[in-house]
Amino acid sequence: MDRIRWRPRLPVLVGRLLRRDEATVPRPRRVNPDAVVDCAVYVAGRREPGRPHYADAYDRARRGRRTFVWLGLHEPGAAVLAAVGRTFGLDEAAVAQALADGHRPTVRRYGEVTLLVLRSAGYVEHTELTATSEVVDTGDVLVFLGERFALTVRHGATGALAPVREEVQRRPDVLAQGPWAVGYAVCARMVELYLEVAEHLERDLERVEESVFAREHGADIQHLYQLKREVVEFKRAVLPLTAPLRALLDSPDGGPPAALRHRFAAVADGLARAVERIGAYDELLTSLVQSRLAQLAVEQNDDMRRIAAWAAIAASQTAVAGVYGMNFAHMPELHWRYGYGGALLLMATLAVTLHRLFRRSGWL
């Protein structure tokens, strides 16, 4: 009877032991892909320790109060970005836009998600300006802002966001405002970069201006063209952001919270200063190019006058030699004993006289 009673309980005991063994075996931890620069969960403006997988972090953010996740990506591939888009519920058009670079700065709404498209800029150090010098390097930064997440996607070498994250984490009162705090911090950093690049460009322009109006040797026109191209590229990265940023501030809903609007207004003012300086640099470069072209026209005119003067001197010698090279039988002084020397003296006299006349008139 005892054996019959215990046999049915044996599978139950084995099942319990197996479940206990499964519980003691740790589950494999999910690892973020290489494109993920950083991933963190913020609660009431403070970062929680660790760097969880972005899916786990988003689950944690959706369950908590005053919680959001900030995921930073650098040049992600299509597979990685598609997986991230599915996790955060991003629109397919927005995901496709985030895969490419070279966008125009703008602000777009995809349902409950706001997309900020910014251009990053960095100054490239160089010892001297040449016809191929890279002065300004630009990239792309896209910021997706949802109710419980902030997703930043960066393309290019410039505009690293690690300093932005470190700085804003020291200001929990700002991060407590939610994902829009990340949008503000990224916009503020981009404007700071614009002003830094503008300061470096100002020094380059000062050196170019000095070389253009130098007495001995003017600037190479190709160097001016290259700097002009770099300034135009910088202008295209900065100027289009003015209208979207102002529209974001004027939007009654769907924009940053009231506690951050004055900070975004300060960013817009900094952007206006950068745009003003870039416009002034562009106009100055246009004036320098025109001045250098005028100088080249004067130099070419001087060269043509020198060529014409020396051609006139050579023509006088050719005229004398041509007259006495006609070999007619009856020519004056043809059989004169000193005719050869006299012809050479006449040619030398004409050359010296014409040279002095051209020197006096400024042609030589």
Q: Of the residues 297, 321, 340, which one is the last residue of a structural domain?
A: 297
- Both 137 and 278 in one domain: the answer is yes
Residue 46 lies in a domain: yes
Residue 26 lies in a domain: no
Residue 1 lies in a domain: no
Task: Say how many domains are in the chain.
Answer: 2
Which CATH number goes with the domain that contains 150?
3.30.460.20
pTM of the model: 0.77
Burial class (CB in 10 A: 0-12, 13-18, 19+), 341: exposed
Domain that includes residue 55, residue range: 36-297
- Both 321 and 243 in one domain: the answer is no
Residue 27 lies in a domain: no
Can you tell me the distance from the alpha carbon of 339 to that of 139, in angstroms, rounded to the nearest whole number?
A: 80
- Both 202 and 342 in one domain: the answer is no
- Both 252 and 155 in one domain: the answer is yes
Residue 8 lies in a domain: no
Residue 7 lies in a domain: no
Residue 341 lies in a domain: yes
- Both 326 and 206 in one domain: the answer is no
Can you tell me the distance from the alpha carbon of 107 to that of 241, in angstroms, rounded to the nearest whole number?
A: 9
Per-residue tens of pLDDT for the chain, all 364 residues: 444 443 445 444 445 544 544 444 445 567 788 899 999 999 999 999 999 999 999 999 999 899 999 999 999 999 999 999 999 999 998 899 888 888 899 999 998 999 999 999 999 988 888 888 889 999 999 999 999 999 999 998 888 899 999 999 999 999 999 999 999 999 999 999 999 999 999 999 988 888 888 777 667 888 888 999 999 999 999 999 999 999 888 877 778 888 999 999 999 999 999 999 999 999 999 988 888 888 777 777 877 888 888 888 888 878 877 776 776 666 666 667 777 777 788 888 888 888 888 788 877 7
Asked if residues 190 and 238 have their Cβ atoms less than 8 Å apart, the reply is no
Residue 20 lies in a domain: no
